[in-house]
Structure 1
C-alpha cells in the first residue's frame, strides 16, 4: 500500500520539489542566504502562491456550484416531502434519480464545495513526504527530485525563530530548541484553526440566502465549520513547521479571496448582496445582476434578484419632409 501511495504522489513530489527549487534559487540570487530558514520559508510560501493561482478557475467553479446548491434547496425540500416515509427500494431509487436531475438542472454537484481542498491534498501530502525524507536523504547524501544533496542539507539545517523547519510538535529533531518548536507550533496551529474557521463562518453569516440557512446544505456546512478546524488542529501536532506555514498561508489566501468574492460578487438574496446594493446606492451607481443570479424555469431572473437599471431611450430626431419644388 505504501509503494502504491508513493507512486501516486511521485508526480506531485517532483512538482513540489521543482517549485521549491525555483523559488530557493531565485531568492538566493536576490542575495538571501541559501541556508537561512527564512529563504526556505519564503520558498514554501511561493509554493502556496503558485498552487493557489493555478486553482483560481476551480475556485470560481466552486462559487458557481455553491450558488447552484443554494438555489436548489427549495426543490430539495419539496422532493424530501414528496418521498417522506417511503422506504422501499423503488422510491429511494426514484428520489435519487430526481435529485440527480436537480443537480444537473442547476449545474452543480454535492462535491463541488470540497473540490479545491481535494485538489490541494496531493500537494500537501507530497510536501509532507518531502519534509520527512529530508533528514534521511541528507544522511545518505541523496537528492530529492530537483533538490540536490547540498540543498537538502541546507533545508535540513534551516531554522526560523531557532526552530527547525523540519521539526514537529511531537517529532523533535536532534539539536533543536524544544521551547521554540513548541511555542511556534502551537501559535501556527491556532492560526491555522482560526483562519479555517473564519473562512467558513463568513460564508454562512453573509453569503447565504434565508432558504439556504434553513436547509440540509446548511447543516453540512455547519458540520464542516467545526469538524475541519478540529481535524487540522489535531493533525497539526504531527505537522513539521514548514507544513504549518504552508497550510496557514493557504488558509489566509482562501480567507482574503473569499472576502473579496463575498464583497464584490455575493450570492443573490444574501446579506452581502443587500450590503452591496446599499453601497452602490450610496455612490449613485446603478444596480447590477450578480454573478450566479438564480433563474426561474422560464429563464428570467428570480424574484428578489438584482436587475440592471433600464437604459435610457434616446429619442431620435424626426426628419422633416422637404418641400416639393
Structure 2
C-alpha cells in the first residue's frame, strides 16, 4: 500500500494547498472534503482509458450473444467443447468478459488506501506518504457542517451525552443511500438503453440482472462501516460514472438498441431544423396470405336446361322431318 499512500496523499495535499490559497480554512472539513472530491476527479480522469475498454468489451458481449446462443444449442450436451468454442469466439471478436470489472477492481486498492490514510490520521495522527504530522492531524480531526468529522462512520458516530450524534448518522446514511442509488441507476441505465433485444436473455443478461440488484445491496450494507470521507469519494465516483456513461450511450450507442434509435431520431430532427430533407425508408407492406379461390359448385339443372345450354333442339313428338321413316323410300 505504500506506493498508493504516496500517490493519494500527493493529490490530497495538492488540492488542499489550492483550497488554502483561495481562502478556505486549512484545518476545516470543507477544504479536506473538497480535496477528496478533487482526488476522485483525478483518479477517474486517469481511468478513462479503462472505461473506454470496458464500454467496448460490454458492447461486444452484447453483440455476440446470438452467436453464443447458437453455440449453446450446438454444444449444450458437451460442456467442455462449449467452453472451448465460447473462449474461441471471445478471442476472435476481441472480447474480454472480465473487462467490465476493471474500473472497479482498479479503484478498490485506492479506496482502501484512502480509508487507511483517514483512519490512521484520525485515531493515531499517523502520517502516511506526503502527509506531515500537522497535515495528518488536521486531516483526521477535520469536520464538515460544524460537527461532522470526516473520519466518523454510521456505526461509530461520536456520542454526545447518552446518545450517538444523529447529525453524523443522518449524513452518513444519506451518503450510503446516494452511493447505492447511483450504483443501481448506472447499471440500470446500461441495461435499459444500451443493450439490444437479443442480449436481454441468456446467461450474460442473467449475470447483469444479478449484479443490478446484488452490488447496490452489498455496497449499502458495507457502506455503514466506512468513514464519511470514504463515502464522499465513492459517491462522487459513482456520479462521475453515471455522467460519463450517459455521454457515451447518448453519442456512441450500440447498434440495435433503444439509445441507437433515439440518436437517429435526434439526427433526423436536427437535419429538418436546418432545412434539409430526410430520406424516409418506406415501411414494408404487410404480407397478405393468398388462399386458393373457393371452387363454386355448379347448380343442378334439368335435362331440358342442359340441352338448351349445349345448343341442342328439343325433341318433337311427331318425329323429325329429316329422319327417314322406317322402311320408306327416299
Give TM-score scaled by structure 1 length.
0.80
Q: Give the C-alpha shift of residue 171 in structure 1.
A: 1.8
Q: 1:322 aligns to what?
A: none
Task: Identify the match of residue 167 of structure 1 among 127, 136, 152.
Answer: 152
Q: Deviations over 1:9-65 (max 9, x none)?
A: 221122111111111111112211101101000000011000000011111111111
> How far apart are the structure 1 equivalents of 2:213 and 2:247?
23
> How far apart are the structure 2 equivalents of 1:43 and 1:244?
14
Q: Give the C-alpha shift of residue 131 in structure 1.
A: 1.4
Larger Rg: 2
> How far apart are the structure 2 equivalents of 1:172 and 1:112?
38
> How far apart are the structure 1 equivalents of 2:121 and 2:246?
37
Task: Identify the match of residue 223 of structure 2 among 220, 230, 236.
Answer: 236
2:157 touches 2:169 (CA, 8 Å); kept in 1?
A: no
- Give the number of equivalent residue pairs: 270
Give TM-score scaled by structure 2 length.
0.79
1:217-228 correspondence to structure 2 within 5 Å: 217-228=204-215
SS of the residue aligned with 1:110? Answer: coil
Which aligned segments of 4 or more residues in structure 1 are displaced greater than 6 angstroms? Answer: 174-177
Please give the root-mean-square deviation of Cα atoms over the aligned residues, in Å. Answer: 1.6
2:32 touches 2:142 (CA, 8 Å); kept in 1?
A: yes
Q: Deviations over 1:297-325 (max 9, x none)?
A: xxxxxxxxxxxxxxxxxxxxxxxxxxxxx
> How far apart are the structure 2 equivalents of 1:148 and 1:122?
22
SS of the residue aligned with 1:248? Answer: helix
| 1:147 matched to 2:131 | yes
Q: Give the C-alpha shift of residue 173 in structure 1.
A: 4.4
1:164-203 correspondence to structure 2 within 5 Å: 164-173=149-158, 178-203=165-190
Q: Give the C-alpha shift of residue 135 in structure 1.
A: 2.5
> How far apart are the structure 1 equivalents of 2:166 and 2:259?
44
Q: Give the C-alpha shift of residue 174 in structure 1.
A: 6.9
1:1-325 correspondence to structure 2 within 5 Å: 9-84=1-76, 86=77, 91-138=78-125, 142-161=126-145, 162-173=147-158, 178-284=165-271
SS of the residue aligned with 1:238? Answer: coil
In the alignment, structure 1 segments of 5+ residues that lack a partner are 1-8, 287-325
